[in-house]
Structure 1
Amino acid sequence: MPVSFLSAEQRSRYGVFNAVPDIAQLGAFFHLDADDRRRAMAANGARNRLGWSLQLGTARFLNCFLDDPEDVPAAVVDYVAEQLGLQAADLKGYGEKEARWAHQEQIRTGYGYTAFAGEQWFALACWLYKRAWTTNERPIVLFDLATHRLVEAKILLPGVTTLERLIAALRERVAARQHALMATAPSPNQAAVLENLVKVEEGRRVSRLDRLRKSPTDVSSTGLVKALDRHVELRGLGAAGWDLSAVPPGKIAALARFAHAARAQAVDELAGDRKLATLVAFAATMAPQSADEAIEVFDLAVGDLLRTSAFKATKERMRTLKDLDTAAIVLREVWLKIRSVAEIPDGGIRAALDEMDLAAIHAAADVIGDIAREPDEDFQEELLDRYATIRRFLPKLLKHLDFDAGAAETPGQGVRRGHEVLQALDFLKAIERRRTDIDPSEVPADLLSSAWHRRVFPKRGELAGTFNKSAYTVAAVERLRESLRRHEVFVPGLRKWGDPTAGLLKGAEWERARPRICDELNLSPEPGTDVERWAATLDFVPPARRRPVRRRRRPQRLGTPGQRRDRQGPPGAHRPGPPE
């Protein structure tokens, strides 16, 4: 880890005047009140008085003393000298006198400044260590925060190299502690497997690390199977059994980002515990990330199935629309004939039917039966044709991803909708290898819409009264995607597709924190109080201020437009004003 992280320009700007202070800064830091002037006048001679006053203003402005007290902008010297009734030239030679050291001690004692000594060094080091351990801030940020903390405490700034080396040493110590803790998390066998991730296996061109950190790009059933295999391989590294609670999550994420971006050879060349700690961070973060990415592929792949099915249904609908119209017209003519015969008291409907072309009528009825759809149907029939595609990934999806839906019941709402999907998924896993017939009464059908219900439990034809497993599977997958997008169903521990309430305080923990949080947000801890106040504000209607309506009286315009234009004269001509 580099000790020097500041550039040459940054070092040159530390603890010196980088620009001439403006009038506001002169008034804030270099103004001398009665007490300041009294202390300054105690010095012997005009040079010491002016030098003492300038060192006081420098300590206020820079929080440190200059190596050469005369290295002050001329505008500052003029401003301070004018308050003392002296000349700027009186400062000449002050930086070479021993009195300046006594003046610095007088200013530290009289104005509460503290030198950066052992106690101050230890306190700042403790604070920086805690900050560096809990956050992942860059060294320059820690440097700025440290200087700000010293200024707030009126501790004189140390040399730039002292502070720079302190921060670098603490960050190196923090990194060593983090690497040691993370390197002890896996077992020896797991550590050996992790270290082999950066090796290129025989017959391959890239390492396992390169393959595992590559996100899936194939949005299809085959791509989803590959994404699930990748998740299984990452989960097999054993990260779920490691206890990394002692290391802040931000530190783990930083190491994982390095492992994800660096070349495998660069990771392999890391020394000490840093190599194993980097691979541990990679495995710990990539296992849930791979599950997130697998569900993302599932969402996109099923979305493509739905879109293509809807397009196919619309296209088929448009193709058969003329046949449907023709059959509907035939049946309409039949009905009109029957109605006209029925209106005659002695009319024979049977004789009228014998006169019709019954074969054409039956054909028209068959066409309508084949083409017409129920009002609540969309594209279920076309989506059911993609059952084979869904079967390619569904068993592996249900086997390796643990879906959850939170609490089974919500007060006042009964069973939550997500649990209907979980019941269906559990049922599909239970009948995966079942060869006996399934009774419709044991099928959890709460998630089925009416359109899917007719297909899962057909009531007509040879399959009447049976259970259609294919239709139930497709319906469950469609509802699973919908529930995932609504976060009614989730996979615990994931970032995108995980529990949306995982980070919320609950129960007694929330009750303890509620008064403090509500006080910080300026809200009432009692439910409904602020809502009622906001509602009253929205419902408040201020009394309307009625203004008298002044109607302008339009002047009477005589004659045609041409006559009026003649009276006014040509454009730009002088028009007489009102009579005096």
Structure 2
Amino acid sequence: MKPAVPALAPAPAELLSVPEGKRVSELERLRTPPTKSTATAMVRAMERVEEISAFALGRVNLSRVLVNRLSALARYGQVSKAQTIERAPEPRRTALLTAVVRQLEAQAVDDALDLFAVLMANRLISPARRASDRERLAMLPQLEKAARILAKASKILTEELDLVAEHGTDLDVAALWAAVEEAVPRTAVSSAVATVEALVPEDDGSAEAATREKLVLRCNTVRPFLSLLGESDVLGAAPAGRRILKAVRSLPALSRRRVKDRPLLPREVDAELVPAMWKRAVFSNAKLPQGAVDRDAYVVCVLEQLHRALNRRDVFASPSNRWADPHARLLDGPRWEAMRADVLAGLSLTEDAGEHLAQLTRALDAAWRQMADRLWKPAPTRRWRSSSPRAADAPVCRWTSSARWASRNR
């Protein structure tokens, strides 16, 4: 008598049934990715990740199963209806559903992070930059008028100072102002100076800082999913991204804090994560008490750093296909030692890595030196000869002259 095949656990098995009042199975519902780029869709995407991760099938040790076999099962299960999987005999049904849920978990994480990238780029950064550019363009007429006034005054001032220096006379301030006021009134000069000081900050990154101030106004876009993002276990970090990930973990508590009653202080945030373009928005908000940190500005600043870190893979996700740690798929330890000989033979590398790199370095250095020598040598003179009878008597000369001679004698 054959031993009884263990049946599928109750929770994953429920994915194959259609809940009462619904038209599709739970598996089909979880297969559906987000279709809108909104904060609400991001919340649902993160909830979808948590719902699939709750089955914990991604933590099942399947190291003894061939990767190709597992991928084939997942592909077949993804295109199969829930009824088809439910009718499959055991243990095939368990294998199919396990492979499908494991792949769905990685896809759900990818979908959520893809949506996060779209939100940051299209709903936050781009609109803020456009709003900042429009505001700066609106200030341009005032700045042009002030610049014209100051240019006239500066020209007269320079000419008068040159005359004083040329004749060696004492500087008469009253006469100097009289000469300036013949072209521009003194009040207009003072007003132009005030306009330039107001519209042109002293720091070089004023445009980026202005964009970040506009970016803070869109904090409500990210507020709904801050808790889900900060409390998610799917994010990991390389050494370069650990500080950013730690700040992301603190966002749920910051989002729930009543900053009107307890203002956020600089010691409660990671100031090293705030780049120069963000410092004015984070630490110098005139509407807050002196020394207080703008909570919304800091939150958006951390999310922007997370967005960049994800693109660099300093922060990554697991399980994931598109946002995974690129180093995680590299062979290491006993697995690498077992395959090292075959890999090196396939790449025609039989030497030590250090010696191989040294050879490449020497070859590259020789190529650079050869190219440098050729740059300083004159090119050889190219001559043109023709087998045409009419050009047989043509003098041997450079190609261009010979070509002209041949064209004249055709």
Same structural fold, with TM-score higher than 0.5 when normalized by the shorter chain:
yes
Q: Which amino acid aligns with 2:194?
A: A
The structural deviation recorded for 1:386 is: 1.1
Separation (CA, whole Å) in 2 of partners of 1:216 and 1:301: 13
Unaligned runs of 5+ in 2: 165-169, 386-392, 397-408
Per-residue deviation, residues 66-103 of structure 1 (Å, max 9, x unmatched) = xxxxxxxxxxxxxxxxxxxxxxxxxxxxxxxxxxxxxx
- Over 3 Å counting, the alpha-carbon distance change for 1:507 and 1:478 in structure 2 is same
The structure in which a higher percent of residues are helix is: 2
Match of 2:173 in 1: 347
Match of 2:132 in 1: 313
Distance 1:519 1:202, change over 3 A: closer
Q: 1:440 to 1:349 in 2, by over 3 A?
A: farther
Unaligned runs of 5+ in 1: 1-175, 409-415, 557-567, 572-580
Does the CA contact (< 8 Å) of 1:330 and 1:361 recur in 2? no
Query: Where do 1:145-544 residues align within 5 Å?
Result: 191-304=9-122, 305-333=124-152, 345-348=171-174, 356=185, 358=187, 361-362=190-191, 365-366=194-195, 368-370=197-199, 374-376=203-205, 377-378=207-208, 379-406=211-238, 408=239, 416=240, 418-435=241-258, 436-458=262-284, 463-507=289-333, 510=336, 514=340, 517-538=343-364, 539-540=366-367, 541=370
What is the 5 A alignment of 1:556-575?
none
| Matched letter for residue 248 of structure 1 | L
CA deviation after TM superposition for structure 1 residue 286, in Å = 1.1
Percent identity between matched residues is 28
The residue type equivalent to 1:197 in the other structure is L
| 1:483-541 CA distance string (max 9 Å, x none) | 11111111233221111111213356646754554344322442332233234334254
3-state DSSP class of the match of 1:490? strand
Q: Structure 1 residues 237, 426: closer, same or farther in 2, change over 3 A?
A: closer
Measure the CA separation in 2 of the matches of 1:322 and 1:372.
17
Q: Secondary structure at the match of 1:195?
A: helix
Q: Which deviates the most, 535-544 or 445-454?
A: 535-544
- Structure 2 CA distance for partners of 1:554 and 1:461, relative to 1, 3 Å: farther
Question: CA distance change for structure 1 residues 518 and 245 in 2, over 3 Å: closer, same or farther?
Answer: closer
User: Within 1, Cα distance between the matches of 2:130 and 2:250?
Assistant: 31
Measured in 2, the distance between the counterparts of 1:549 and 1:236 equals 76
Distance 1:460 1:385, change over 3 A: closer
Q: Deviations over 1:223-264 (max 9, x none)?
A: 211111111221222324534344333333333323321223
Task: Give distance in 1, aligned partners of 2:198 and 2:352.
Answer: 61
Q: Distance in 2 between matches of 1:512 and 1:277?
A: 28
- The 2-side partners of 1:337 and 1:550 are apart by 64
Specify whether residues 384 and 548 from structure 1 end up closer, same or farther in structure 2 by C-alpha distance, changes over 3 A only.
closer
| Higher-RCO chain (CA-CA 8 Å, sequence separation at least 6) | 2
Q: Distance in 1 between matches of 2:325 and 2:381?
A: 61
Contact 1:194 1:276 in 2 (8 A): no
Of stretches 270-279 and 191-200 in structure 1, the one that deviates more from structure 2 is: 270-279
> Would the alpha carbon gap of residues 392 and 327 (structure 1) be closer, same or farther in structure 2, given more than 3 Å must change?
farther
SS, match of residue 499 in structure 1: coil
1:227/1:290 contact within 8 Å kept:
yes
Letter in 2 for 1:397: L
Give yes or no for contact 2:35–2:41 (8 Å, CA) kept in 1. yes
TM-score using structure 2 length = 0.74
CA distance 1:373–1:223, shift in 2 (3 Å) = farther
| Count, aligned residues | 366
Task: Give me the whole-angstrom Cα distance separating, in 1, the residues matched to 2:109 and 2:347.
Answer: 36
Q: Given that residues 143 and 199 in structure 2 are in contact (C-alpha distance below 8 angstroms), is that contact kept between their aligned partners in structure 1?
A: no
What SS class does the counterpart of residue 375 from structure 1 fall into?
coil
Q: Deviations over 1:86-139 (max 9, x none)?
A: xxxxxxxxxxxxxxxxxxxxxxxxxxxxxxxxxxxxxxxxxxxxxxxxxxxxxx
Larger deviation: 524-533 or 282-291? 524-533
Larger Rg: 1
Instruction: Report the CA distance shift for 1:386/1:462 in structure 2 as closer, same or farther (over 3 A).
Output: closer
Partner amino acid for 2:112? Answer: A
2:400 corresponds in structure 1 to none
CA RMSD in angstroms, aligned pairs only: 4.0
Conserved in 2, the CA contact under 8 Å of 1:341 and 1:349? no
Using the TM superposition, give the Cα deviation of residue 218 of structure 1 relative to its aligned residue in structure 2, in angstroms: 1.2
Measured at CA, do residues 430 and 365 of structure 1 come closer, stay the same or move farther in structure 2, by a change above 3 Å? same
Distance 2:236 2:383 in 1: 69
